[in-house]
Amino acid sequence: MPLEALIFDVDGTLAETEELHRQAFNEAFHAFGLDWVWPRDLYRELLGVTGGRERILHYIDHYAPAGGAAARAKVSEMHADKTVRYVKLIRAGDVAPRPGVRRLIAEAHDAGLRLAIATTTRPGNVEALLGAMIGREALSWFSVIAAGDIVPAKKPARDIYDYALRELDCAASACVAFEDSANGVRAARQAGLAVVATPSFFLSADDVSESASVLSDLGEPGRPARHLAGWRFAKGYVDLAGLRSMLDEANEIKRKTSTGGSPREDAAAR
């Protein structure tokens, strides 16, 4: 099945944004009169819970911080405040895309492939990041932005990928997903997608072994990515030719083993 679309996770995959999320959470806690601080080590642990609102609730439930009971009632307000702060940090800061991201997105757009986003973060955060990172026009390159509460269950549930595939009207076997975390890879794999994983700073120890290829980043001509597991890209960086070959192999393995595909995808692959 020919490659039709690329589906990108956002945080950690397009850019190393989690440090700015962490900063925004801490600023919001302070603004709400709480003495909570999420240091990096704790934040790494908390990232196991996807979704900022869910992460705060998990923190209240499992770490019983002072003021937790009262804060629970204000969690939506506090998370909205965190979102405003995060967008400000993104717009003010110098957030750079991870190596190869801008190049691959441009190559896919120029080749007429469809582009989609599948993320747990808020839609406004995605728009701010794409705008700051690639430019406002890049937003129109994405035909589907699947984000936040648009589905009831966040990653590692497959829902956000199922939603993106439905909106794209694509079979999973015609798409490749890009992820940085175990939760993200699990979600994409459950939806039947082949995945390229580029583990991010906070999640470098995550198990992403279900991915078709694991790399340090997407690489650039003259600045090859470090190969960590699975499919090797001949040029040392991820490009459409390499992705097509990787997808062919992933679909062939799936056909032989007949596992891992959704009924819709299996039907489309026949």
CB of 184 to ligand XBP, least distance (A): 6
Residue reference for tokens 């595909």: 261
Q: Which among 142, 114, 108 has a CA at the least distance from the CA of 127?
A: 142
CB of 18 to Mg ion, least distance (A): 8
Q: Enumerate residues 6+ apart whose C-beta is below 8 A from 248.
A: none
| 11 tagged catalytic | yes
Q: Which does 50 bind (CB under 5 to 8 A by kind): Mg ion, ligand XBP, none?
A: ligand XBP
Measured from the CB atom, the residue of 13 and 262 that comes closer to Mg ion is 13
**Candidate ranges 11-19, 90-98, 103-111, 162-170; the one touching ligand XBP (CB under 6 A):** 11-19
CB of 185 to Mg ion, least distance (A): 10
CB of 179 to Mg ion, least distance (A): 6
3-state secondary structure string, the chain? CCCCEEEECCECCCECCHHHHHHHHHHHHHHCCCCCCCCHHHHHHHCCCCCHHHHHHHHHHHHCCCCHHHHHHCHHHHHHHHHHHHHHHHHHCCCCECCCHHHHHHHHHHCCCEEEEEECCCHHHHHHHHHHHCCHHHHHHEEEEEEHHHCCCCCCCCHHHHHHHHHHCCCHHHEEEEECCHHHHHHHHHCCCEEEECCCCCCCCCCCCCCCEEECCCCECCECCCEEEECCCCCCCCCHHHHHHHHHHHHHHHHHHCCCCCHHHHHHHC
Asked if 98 touches ligand XBP (CB under 6 A), the answer is no
Q: Which does 265 bind (CB under 5 to 8 A by kind): Mg ion, ligand XBP, none?
A: none
CB of 184 to Mg ion, least distance (A): 5
Asked if 9 touches ligand XBP (CB under 6 A), the answer is yes
**Candidate ranges 31-39, 102-110, 115-123, 224-232; the one touching ligand XBP (CB under 6 A):** 115-123
Measured from the CB atom, the residue of 27 and 266 that comes closer to ligand XBP is 27
x/- string (CB under 6 A) for ligand XBP, residues 46-85? ----xxx------------------------------x--
**Candidate ranges 7-15, 30-38, 93-101, 215-223; the one touching ligand XBP (CB under 6 A):** 7-15
CB of 151 to ligand XBP, least distance (A): 12
Q: Enumerate residues 6+ apart whose C-beta is below 8 A from 31.
A: 81
Asked if 119 touches ligand XBP (CB under 6 A), the answer is yes
| 9 tagged catalytic | yes
- Which structure tokens are listed for 264? 């819709």
Residues 174-213, interacting with ligand XBP (CB under 6 A): 181, 184
Cα–Cα–Cα angle for 60, 150, 213, nearest 5°?
85
Which residues would be at the binding site for ligand XBP (CB under 6 A)?
A: 9-12, 18, 21, 50-52, 83, 119-122, 125, 155, 181, 184
Which residues would be at the binding site for Mg ion (CB under 5 A)?
A: 9, 11-12, 180-181, 184
Residues with a catalytic annotation lie at 9, 11
